[in-house]
Each structure stands twice: as structure tokens, then as C-alpha cells.
């Protein structure tokens, strides 16, 4: 229920920004992706998804170890 | 051109002297010096910068940037300002050694900014490294001592690279600091490598996340403000427009947020955001042009404000709860109820770091994005936007949710041992001294003021560029982007809580394989020494026996015992060590002469 309200709120914000972008925005510098209205929402959504995939699935798998990783061999970490 | 003496007689010296006074003065006077030092420094900075001669001609990119002092304005001002805020935050601190090295560290950082000659820059650079190392170890834990040792090693490496480059420069008769990106020679590359260590450019970035979290609460605020930003200042001054740095900068921006997304330690997470935000600055200065240089300078200014506030708030949380892991803090069940001031200040500065409209990160990011767009670096702009999304997720959403506003796993979770809380009382702001709260409020207010009035920061930049941040496209861009990211965050909320694990960084290279390589090398060399020592020793012993008495070669007569002084053979000693040595030298000389003649 709580999440549902958050989803609705976020969708309203996205709709309003999209509307404002279509009606009022005059891009300062023309980016290739600025041709498409709402591209920034897609960058936010897709980027967040990509980062979660990259960080949580790939980097966490490759780089995360036990918290005492450097304290192995009887706490000898004199580097 | 100023004289060499002016490198030493500048505002930073006031803080260095105040540091020495803090060491000597009794406790009653220390607080006054703690505040008076940064205040006088700030006044001196304003006085000196107000006297900067106006040449009339506009500053040109290139040589002018390094020599004109226009870059000094914004960096000296923010360094002096944050020294004051950090001093207020640390006003309750009683450890005079810590207070002293913090003041010396801040003073030497300001001194680097004012240095006009390589020698002056190098001296204060090294002083900064030593003082910051002392800040790390001032928390007096085993982990801090070890992290401090690694920190010192990395910074001595950087300092020596800088020294090597400067020695070459001086040998070429160039005493004054000048722009190096114009023509890159060996000296320039060495100086770049030395400065890159301070700017935490990968692969030499791990010292931040390794050392900063081990420092004291106040010490981290100082360290988060100076070392990397002095690195950025030097990169702008010496290497603005070096395109190679663009790739490093963009990589840093994205890498920092990815590491922050999986990090569990509160201050380590924020340390990764230093890497990420410095990445923005490095990318901006590498793009060159007036917008790039102004973007990097303005972002450094704003970054010091919001990062200082974030680190102050993190320090307050750790001080009040005794906990530093997000997983542990989450179990306490949302600290916003018991630490409202800290929560609000953190929320404001975390929105600022992400680039939320009406806050200061937004106004400096606008300059950087305009620089990327104007320079045609579309890929860089896209990746920097991705880094903004990551920043929003890993600081604004992740920390605010799991530490301050989210519902905890259990209400009966107990704070860790050492927490400044009463028995059975949930940790709260009541345990925090007033000065800490005042400093946090000052930092958050500064983020809002500089965000609402971007002209304040734009006016301090070397070229005074305007980022036009409050256009509809800029504002909708960031709000839309953050709304999209928030949607994903809520969807994957279960995956967003960090795991109670340690994340490896490039420090793994010198903490594991290099450590074992050294151990193996020492063991091998020792083994060889013992083996050869044994063999050679045995050979020498036999040889000396025969040199003592060459007649033994002819007659296989056992040598009499050494302690038998009455024995004629021993007393006579026809040939001994001295003769053997003489013989060896003669032999070597003969060979040499024969070879030379041949």
C-alpha cells in the first residue's frame, strides 16, 4: 500500500516533468538525446537499473569478501 | 612575479602558526585559538585577494591561468571557510595533538594554493601529507595505525614523484609554477603522477576509502575537504585541457558511485563519493575551455560544502550511536526521530551532492554539463549523468532510507559498545555537543544559499561563466532523472540494503599480492644468504687454514688447535687475512691491467 502511493507519486512527478519539458523547455545545448522528450526519465530509470546490475550483481560478486578478509592469518595485516 | 618569500608569507601561515599554538597553549586558551586561527585566515584571504592587481586584460586559458592567481580566489576562500566550519564542529575536542595537526593540515593546503614557485608548493605539499597522516592515526586505533601507514606510503610515493618532476624543472632553470599541459615532457608526467595521487585518480584512489573512515570524526571533515581538492586545484592550474584526464575523470565518477552502492560502512561510502565527485572535476578540467575550468572550480567549492556537511552528519551519527555500518544503523529503526537536526542537514546535503535543483551541486553540475555539451563530449555527459543517478541512489536514497527515515528491522536493537547513550535510551542528538549541530546547520545552510544564488559561486570562478542552471530543461532533466531512478530504487528496495561485507579496491594490490611478493622476496634472499653464507663460510674457513700454513698443502698434517699458543705454526702465522686480502687485490689489479692492455 505504502509502495503503491510512492509509485503513484513518482509517476505524477514524471508526468509533470515530461509535460513541462514538452511545453516550455528550450535546451541550452542540443544533445542527441534531447530530440526525444522524456529522455532524461529514461536515463534515470535505465541508468539506475544498469547501476544496480553492475554494482549489486557483478561488482559485489567480484569484489566483496568477508569483513575480516585482511585480518587473516591471525590478524597479521602489516602492509 | 612574486618573490620566493611570498610563498611562505601568506594566509595559510596563520593556520599553521595557530596549529603550533594549539600544541603549546593551555586548554583554557585552546578554544579561542581554534576559532581565531581560521577566522584570521579567512580575513587574510579576503584581504590578499582584494589586493590582487587588476591587469584589465581578460585572463586567457593557458599560461595565464597558472600565473594570474585568478584560480586562487575560489579555492583559498572555500579552504578558509571550511576550516572555520570544521573548527566549530571540533570545538569540543580535547586532544590537542589532533587539533594542532588539523590546523597545520588546513594551513598547508591553503599555502599550496598561494604558492607561486615549485619549491614552495613542494614544501607545503609534503607538510600536508605528513599532517594528514597524523590526523588519520590520531584516532589511536590499530586499524587507524595500519591504514595511516598505508596512507603515508601512498602519499610519500606521490610526493616523491612530484619531487622528481620539480627537480627536473629546477634543473632546467624554471623556478616559477607554470602551465604544464602546453608541452608534456618527463617532468610534466612526473608532476602529473604526483598530483594524481592526491586527486585519487585510479589506480591510486584506494587510500581515501582506506584511511578516511579510520580517522576521527572531525579529522575526516578536514581530510574530505583538502587533499583531493588541492589535487584538483593543481590539476586545473597545471593540466587544464589535458584530454587524457577526461577518461580518468569519467571513470572515477561512475566507479565511485558503483562502489558506494555496495558499500556498508557509512564513512567509507561517503569516501567513495569523494572519488566520484572529484571525477566530475577532473573530467571538467580535462574538457578545458572556460566552462570546463569554471565548472571544475565551482564544483570543488560546492563539493567541499556538501561533502563537509555529509561527513559532519556521518560523524554525528557514529558519535551518537557508536555504529558505523549501515546494516547496524538500519536495525536502530530510522534515526530521523531521535536525530532530527542531523537528518535534515544530511538530507539537504545529500540532495545537493546528487544535483537536486535549488541546491549547490546542481549549479556547478550545470557548468560541467554545459562544458561537455559545448565541447562535443556527449559520451562523457551521458556517463556523468549516470554518475548523478548513482549518487542519488547511493547517498540520497540509500543512506536516508536505511539510516534516517526507513523503518528498522527491530526496535529493540542495541547500540554498539561505546555508544554515547544512556542505559536503555535510544541514541539521540542530546548526546551531541551544540557546536557539532551548529556546524552541520552552517554547512547545510551554505548548500542552500549557494544553490539559490548561484551567482555567489559563479562570480568566484576564474572566468565568471554562467551555467544558466534554472532553465526549464535543466530543472526538468534532473527531476525527471531522479524520479526515474527513485522508481527503480523502490522496485529493488530489497536489493539495496548493503551486505555486511568488505569491498576490495586497488589497495588489495599492496595489501595482499605485493605483501606476499615482499614476503617471498625476503624469504628467498634470506635463504640464498644462509645457503651462500654457509658454503662460502666453509670455503673461507678452509682457505684461511691453508693460508695460515701453506705447508699443509704438501703434508697432510692436521692443524693444531688454535688455543695452543705454544705451537710454533700458530705463533708464526706465515700468511693471514691481511696477506690474503693483499693477494686478492693484487690479483684483481693484475687482471684489470691485463684486460685494459689487451
Q: Is the CB of A51 less than 8 angstroms away from the CB of B386? A: yes
Looking at residue A22, its pLDDT comes to 82
Least confident of A69-78, B205-214, B365-374, B589-598: A69-78
Summarised one tens digit per residue, pLDDT across range B264-307 is: 999 999 999 999 999 999 999 999 888 999 999 999 999 999 99
Looking at residue A76, its pLDDT comes to 46
The DSSP call for residue B117 is B
Contact predicate B421/B321, CB 8 Å: yes
> B150 to chain A, minimum CA–CA distance in Å?
7
Q: How many domains does chain A have?
A: 1
The Cα B560–Cα B558 span in angstroms is 6
Can you list the alpha helix ranges (DSSP code H) found in B322-339?
Answer: 326-331
Closest residue in A to B153 (Cα) is A79
How much is the ipTM here? Answer: 0.89
Q: Is residue A74 part of a domain?
A: no
Instruction: Write out chain A residues lying below 8 Å of B477, CB-based.
Output: 21, 40
Give the length of chain B: 598
Whether the per-residue pLDDT at A39 is higher than 90: the answer is no
Q: Inform me whether the C-beta atom of residue B143 falls under 8 Å from chain A C-beta atoms.
A: no
The DSSP call for residue B176 is B
Q: Inform me whether the C-beta atom of residue B259 falls under 8 Å from chain A C-beta atoms.
A: yes
Q: Inform me whether the C-beta atom of residue B494 falls under 8 Å from chain A C-beta atoms.
A: no
Contact predicate B312/B221, CB 8 Å: yes
Assign B495 to helix, strand or coil: helix
Q: How many CB atoms lie within 10 A of CB B519?
A: 11
Q: Is residue A76 part of a domain?
A: no
Summarised one tens digit per residue, pLDDT across range A13-33 is: 999 988 888 888 776 656 667
Closest residue in A to B392 (Cα) is A48
Q: Please provide the DSSP assignment of A4-20 as one string.
A: HHHHHHHHHHHHHHHHH
Q: Inform me whether the C-beta atom of residue B344 falls under 8 Å from chain A C-beta atoms.
A: no
Q: Is the CB of A77 less than 8 angstroms away from the CB of B146? A: yes
Nearest 10 degrees: CA dihedral of B524, B529, B535, B539?
160
Beta bridge partners of residue A6, listed in sequence order? none
> B406 to chain A, minimum CA–CA distance in Å?
12
The Cα B181–Cα A66 span in angstroms is 43
Looking at residue B60, its pLDDT comes to 60
Contact predicate B188/B165, CB 8 Å: yes
Q: Nearest Cβ partner of B258 from A41, A51, A78?
A: A51
A29-43 average pLDDT score = 77
Q: Which residues contact B86 (CB under 8 A, 6 or more apart)?
A: B38, B102, B106, B218, B221, B222, B225, B308, B439
Half-sphere exposure (Cβ direction) of B125: Cα atoms closer than 13 Å: 29
Summarised one tens digit per residue, pLDDT across range B493-548 is: 888 888 888 899 988 988 899 889 999 999 999 999 899 888 888 888 888 877 77
Q: Is residue A75 part of a domain?
A: no
Task: Locate B555 and state its grid cell.
Answer: 703434508
Q: Nearest Cβ partner of A64 from B150, B262, B474?
A: B262
- With pLDDT > 70 as the criterion, what percentage of chain B qualifies? 89
Whether the per-residue pLDDT at B326 is higher than 50: the answer is yes
The Cα B217–Cα B315 span in angstroms is 5
Q: Nearest Cβ partner of B262 from A50, A60, A70?
A: A60
Type and span of the H or E element at B333: none
Looking at residue B494, its pLDDT comes to 86
For residue B558, name the pLDDT band (cuts at 50, 70, 90): low
Q: Which residues contact A64 (CB under 8 A, 6 or more apart)?
A: B262, B499, B501, B502, B503, B504
pTM of the shown model? 0.86
Q: Is the CB of B390 less than 8 angstroms away from the CB of A51? A: yes
Summarised one tens digit per residue, pLDDT across range B179-237 is: 887 778 899 999 999 999 999 999 989 999 999 999 999 999 999 999 999 999 999 99
Q: Which residues contact A5 (CB under 8 A, 6 or more apart)?
A: none
Closest residue in B to A10 (Cα) is B483
- What is the residue-averaged pLDDT of chain B? 87
> B94 to chain A, minimum CA–CA distance in Å?
30
Q: Is residue A77 part of a domain?
A: no
Q: Please provide the DSSP assignment of A38-77 as one string.
A: THHHHHHHHHHHHHHIIIIIIIHHHHEE-TTGGGHHHH--
Q: Is the CB of A40 less than 8 angstroms away from the CB of B489? A: no
> B224 to chain A, minimum CA–CA distance in Å?
24
Type and span of the H or E element at B532: helix B513-548
Chains A and B form CB pairs within 8 A to the count of: 171
For residue B59, name the pLDDT band (cuts at 50, 70, 90): low
Q: Is the CB of A77 less than 8 angstroms away from the CB of B487? A: no
Instruction: Write out chain B residues lying below 8 Å of A8, CB-based.
Output: none
Looking at residue B495, its pLDDT comes to 85
Closest residue in A to B509 (Cα) is A79
Q: Is residue A6 part of a domain?
A: yes
Looking at residue B418, its pLDDT comes to 44
Q: Is the CB of B259 less than 8 angstroms away from the CB of A70? A: no
Task: Please choose, from the candidates B283, B494, B304, B454, the residue with its C-alpha nearest in 3D space to the C-alpha of residue B371.
Answer: B283
Q: Nearest Cβ partner of A31 from B381, B488, B511?
A: B381
Task: Locate B460 and state its grid cell.
Answer: 568566484
Chain B, 501 to 540: residues with Cβ < 8 Å from chain A are 501-505, 510-512, 514-515
Q: Nearest Cβ partner of B511 from A31, A59, A77?
A: A77
Instruction: Write out chain B residues lying below 8 Å of A2, CB-based.
Output: none
Segment of B17-31, B41-55, B421-435 carrying the highest mean pLDDT: B17-31
For residue A21, the enclosing domain spans: 2-26+34-65
Instruction: Write out chain A residues lying below 8 Å of B510, CB-based.
Output: 79
A28-57 average pLDDT score = 84
B259-263 average pLDDT score = 93
Q: Is the CB of B502 less than 8 angstroms away from the CB of A70? A: yes
Q: Is the CB of A41 less than 8 angstroms away from the CB of B480? A: yes
Q: Is the CB of B385 less than 8 angstroms away from the CB of A43? A: yes
Q: Which of left, alpha, beta for B269 (phi over 0: left; psi -120 to 50: alpha)? A: alpha
Higher pLDDT pick, B70 / B309: B309
Half-sphere exposure (Cβ direction) of B571: Cα atoms closer than 13 Å: 5
Whether the per-residue pLDDT at B387 is higher than 90: the answer is yes
> B500 to chain A, minimum CA–CA distance in Å?
7
Q: Nearest Cβ partner of B476 from A21, A48, A68?
A: A21
B335-350 average pLDDT score = 93
- What is the residue-averaged pLDDT of chain A? 81
Q: Nearest Cβ partner of B488 from A13, A40, A45?
A: A45
Closest residue in A to B518 (Cα) is A79
Q: Is the CB of A47 less than 8 angstroms away from the CB of B385? A: yes
Whether the per-residue pLDDT at B6 is higher than 80: the answer is no
The Cα B336–Cα B200 span in angstroms is 33
Q: Is residue A21 part of a domain?
A: yes
Q: Nearest Cβ partner of B484 from A14, A21, A29?
A: A14
The Cα B391–Cα B350 span in angstroms is 9
For residue B400, name the pLDDT band (cuts at 50, 70, 90): very high
Assign B470 to helix, strand or coil: coil
Contact predicate B179/B63, CB 8 Å: yes
Amino acid at each position: 500500500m505504502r509502495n503503491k502511493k510512492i509509485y503513484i507519486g513518482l509517476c505524477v512527478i514524471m508526468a509533470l516533468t515530461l509535460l513541462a519539458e514538452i511545453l516550455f523547455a528550450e535546451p541550452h545545448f542540443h544533445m542527441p538525446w534531447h530530440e526525444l522528450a522524456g529522455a532524461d526519465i529514461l536515463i534515470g530509470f535505465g541508468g539506475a537499473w544498469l547501476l544496480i546490475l553492475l554494482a549489486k550483481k557483478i561488482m559485489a560478486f567480484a569484489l566483496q569478501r568477508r569483513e575480516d578478509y585482511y585480518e587473516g592469518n591471525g590478524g597479521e595485516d602489516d602492509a | 612575479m612574486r618573490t620566493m618569500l611570498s610563498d611562505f608569507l601568506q594566509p595559510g601561515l596563520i593556520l599553521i602558526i595557530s596549529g603550533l599554538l594549539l600544541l603549546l597553549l593551555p586548554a583554557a586558551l585552546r578554544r579561542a585559538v581554534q576559532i581565531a586561527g581560521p577566522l584570521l585566515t579567512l580575513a587574510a584571504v579576503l584581504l590578499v585577494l582584494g589586493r590582487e592587481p587588476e591587469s584589465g586584460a581578460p585572463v586567457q586559458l593557458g599560461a595565464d591561468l597558472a600565473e594570474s592567481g585568478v584560480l586562487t580566489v575560489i579555492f583559498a576562500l572555500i579552504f578558509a571557510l571550511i576550516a572555520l566550519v570544521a573548527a566549530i564542529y571540533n570545538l569540543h575536542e580535547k586532544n590537542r595533538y589532533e587539533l594542532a595537526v588539523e590546523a597545520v593540515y588546513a594551513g598547508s593546503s591553503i599555502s599550496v594554493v598561494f604558492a607561486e614557485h615549485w619549491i614552495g608548493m613542494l614544501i607545503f605539499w609534503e607538510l600536508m601529507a605528513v599532517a594528514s597522516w597524523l590526523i588519520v592515526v590520531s584516532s589511536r586505533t590499530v586499524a587507524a595505525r595500519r591504514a595511516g601507514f598505508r596512507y603515508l606510503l601512498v602519499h610519500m610515493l606521490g610526493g616523491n614523484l612530484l619531487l622528481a618532476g620539480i627537480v627536473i624543472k629546477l634543473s632546467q632553470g624554471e623556478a616559477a609554477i607554470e602551465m604544464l599541459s602546453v608541452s608534456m615532457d618527463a617532468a610534466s608526467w612526473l608532476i602529473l603522477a604526483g598530483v594524481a595521487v592526491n586527486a585519487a585518480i585510479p589506480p591510486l584512489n584506494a587510500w581515501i576509502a582506506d584511511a578516511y573512515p579510520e580517522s576521527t570524526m572531525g579529522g575526516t571533515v578536514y581530510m574530505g575537504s583538502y587533499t583531493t581538492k588541492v589535487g584538483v586545484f593543481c590539476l586545473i592550474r597545471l593540466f587544464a585541457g589535458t584530454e587524457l584526464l577526461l577518461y580518468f575523470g569519467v571513470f572515477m565518477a561512475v566507479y565511485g558511485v558503483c562502489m558506494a552502492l555496495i558499500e556498508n560502512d557509512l564513512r567509507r561510502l561517503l569516501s567513495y563519493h569523494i572519488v566520484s565527485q572529484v571525477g566530475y572535476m577532473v573530467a571538467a578540467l580535462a574538457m578545458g575551455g572556460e566552462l570546463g575550468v569554471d565548472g571544475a572550480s565551482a564544483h570543488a567549492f560546492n563539493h567541499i560544502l556538501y561533502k563537509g556537511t555529509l561527513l559532519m552528519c556521518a560523524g554525528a551519527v557514529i558519535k551518537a550511536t557508536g555504529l558505523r555500518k549501515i546494516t547496524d544503523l538500519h536495525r536502530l529503526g530510522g534515526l530521523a526521530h531521535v536525530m532530527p537536526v542531523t537528518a535534515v542537514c544530511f538530507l539537504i546535503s545529500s540532495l545537493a551532492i546528487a544535483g537536486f535543483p535549488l541546491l549547490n551541486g546542481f549549479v556547478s553540475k550545470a557548468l560541467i554539463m554545459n562544458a561537455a555539451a559545448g565541447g562535443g563530449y556527449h559520451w562523457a555527459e551521458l556517463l556523468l549523468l549516470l554518475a548523478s543517478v548513482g549518487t542519488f541512489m547511493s547517498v540520497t536514497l540509500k543512506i536516508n532510507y536505511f539510516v534516517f527515515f526507513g523503518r528498522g528491522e527491530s526496535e529493540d536493537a542495541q547500540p554498539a559498545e561505546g555508544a554515547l547513550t544512556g542505559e536503555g535510551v535510544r541514541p539521540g542528538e542530546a548526546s551531541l555537543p551544540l557546536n557539532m549541530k551548529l556546524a552541520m546547520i552552517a554547512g547545510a545552510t551554505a548548500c542552500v544559499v549557494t544553490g539559490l544564488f548561484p551567482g555567489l559561486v559563479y562570480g568566484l570562478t576564474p572566468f565568471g561563466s554562467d551555467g544558466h542552471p534554472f532553465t526549464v530543461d535543466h530543472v526538468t532533466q534532473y527531476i525527471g532523472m531522479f524520479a526515474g531512478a527513485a522508481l527503480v530504487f523502490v522496485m529493488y528496495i530489497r536489493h539495496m540494503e548493503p551486505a555486511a561485507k568488505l569491498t576490495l579496491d586497488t589497495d588489495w594490490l599492496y595489501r595482499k599480492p605485493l605483501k606476499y611478493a615482499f614476503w617471498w622476496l625476503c624469504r628467498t634472499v634470506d635463504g640464498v644468504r644462509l645457503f651462500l653464507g654457509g658454503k662460502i663460510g666453509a670455503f673461507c674457513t678452509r682457505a684461511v687454514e691453508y693460508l695460515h700454513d701453506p705447508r699443509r698443502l704438501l703434508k697432510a698434517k692436521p692443524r693444531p688447535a688454535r688455543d695452543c699458543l705454544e705451537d710454533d705454526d700458530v705463533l708464526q702465522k706465515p700468511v693471514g687475512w691481511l696477506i690474503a686480502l693483499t693477494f686478492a687485490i693484487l690479483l684483481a689489479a693484475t687482471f684489470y691491467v691485463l684486460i685494459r692492455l689487451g
